[in-house]
Homo-oligomer: A and B are copies of this chain.
């Protein structure tokens, strides 16, 4: 369909870059040649208040994001698959207490940590997902096992942990996930909830309070393109502070929080999960590319900056097409994000 000359491709890349900048999308244009491999991550989007962000804390975030990027880069550089890179990268973010996934997961109303994750292989549309586990140190690795070692896509709750044990995954004690910061956030939210109840305010208002926390969307995600040209995407989260009723958001839902397809793109999302499920965000970006011919930047913008905004959904996505072009639109104040090129050049950003 397209003239495949370098001149045309380079011109398209420049136009695309301008379009992305003008619409609030962050991107790393690939230039005239397709990169050997590339990897991008997010560490959640939301109201990242600049006044609460000290230089020391920001340095910690940037250091962990860069460490995750370099971990994934090493996998890809050594010829590893995009799936391997996605798992290795997300495990770094899960092991950091800064992000709402793995170690840093928020607390449920009952004072537990309830974890969801999913992964998808763009080369064959295989996928794995887990929801509602309490003792899995690295949920993304378990999602990978569901994909590779079971005939299923999605396992939940105690059953998912039973599968983990049978696969030789070492479960951790619930206290592994305890952090002062998240425990305090739960207590603050419950206190605000009680006050709101006394003031006669409804449940929606109460949850809105909970979501006003700085770390409301600390979900982590990764998209990668490997040397073989295969795309993969993964997402991991602790969900919402003070969540109850076994609530599941978009992170473990294939097509919503995570989607990958070599024909189009790899996507990982972060935001108000309910809106992302209703909008089938990941697959919608892919479909706009495949059926309407949009670029990854235009497709991601259409979904995040228009459709989700009209609906009231806050958050963002990272999306990478099969040529390594990256789009990172978000409609919130900030989104922890970064990408790394084949030559090891790292870019990490937080605000717009």
Is the pair A159, B127 in contact by a Cβ cutoff of 8 Å?
no
**CA–CA, A158 to B288, complex, Å?**
38
Q: Which of A123-151 contact B (CB under 8 A)?
A: 125-127, 131-132, 150-151
A279 CB contacts on chain B under 8 angstroms: 125
Check: A231 CB closer than 8 A to any chain B CB.
no
**CA–CA, A291 to B294, complex, Å?**
10
| Cβ distance A105 to chain B, nearest Cβ, rounded Å | 16
Check: A351 CB closer than 8 A to any chain B CB.
no
A283 CB contacts on chain B under 8 angstroms: 255, 280, 283-284, 287
Contact with B along A168-206 (1 / 0, CB 8 A): 000000000000000000000000000000000001100
A274 CB contacts on chain B under 8 angstroms: 151-153
Check: A107 CB closer than 8 A to any chain B CB.
no
**CA–CA, A163 to B158, complex, Å?**
19
A131 CB contacts on chain B under 8 angstroms: 156, 248
Check: A244 CB closer than 8 A to any chain B CB.
yes
| Cβ distance A311 to chain B, nearest Cβ, rounded Å | 7
Is the pair B280, A291 in contact by a Cβ cutoff of 8 Å?
no
Check: A10 CB closer than 8 A to any chain B CB.
no
Q: Contacting A154 at CB < 8 Å: which of B125, B150, B277, B291?
A: B277
Q: Which of A313-344 contact B (CB under 8 A)?
A: none
Check: A155 CB closer than 8 A to any chain B CB.
yes
Q: Which partner residue on chain B sits nearest A255 by CB separation?
A: B280
| Cβ distance A145 to chain B, nearest Cβ, rounded Å | 11
Copies of this protein in the assembly total: 2
Is the pair A277, B248 in contact by a Cβ cutoff of 8 Å?
no
Q: A159-B244, A283-B287 are in contact. Are A153 and B255 (CB under 8 A)?
A: no
Check: A106 CB closer than 8 A to any chain B CB.
no
| Cβ distance A191 to chain B, nearest Cβ, rounded Å | 20
Query: Which of A246, A256, A259, A277 has the most chain B CB within a 10 Å cutoff?
Result: A246
Q: Contacting A153 at CB < 8 Å: which of B120, B203, B277, B287?
A: B277
Check: A245 CB closer than 8 A to any chain B CB.
yes
Q: Contacting A247 at CB < 8 Å: which of B152, B278, B280?
A: B152
Query: Which of A120, A256, A311 has the most chain B CB within a 10 Å cutoff?
Result: A256
| Cβ distance A234 to chain B, nearest Cβ, rounded Å | 15
Check: A350 CB closer than 8 A to any chain B CB.
no
A280 CB contacts on chain B under 8 angstroms: 254-255, 259, 280, 283
A35 CB contacts on chain B under 8 angstroms: none
Can you give 10 A-B contacts (C-beta < 8 A)?
A127-B278, A132-B246, A151-B204, A156-B156, A156-B157, A157-B157, A253-B254, A253-B255, A254-B278, A254-B280
Q: Which residues of A contact B (CB under 8 A)?
A: 120, 125-127, 131-132, 150-160, 162-163, 203-204, 207, 244-249, 253-256, 259, 273-274, 277-280, 283-284, 287-288, 291-292, 311
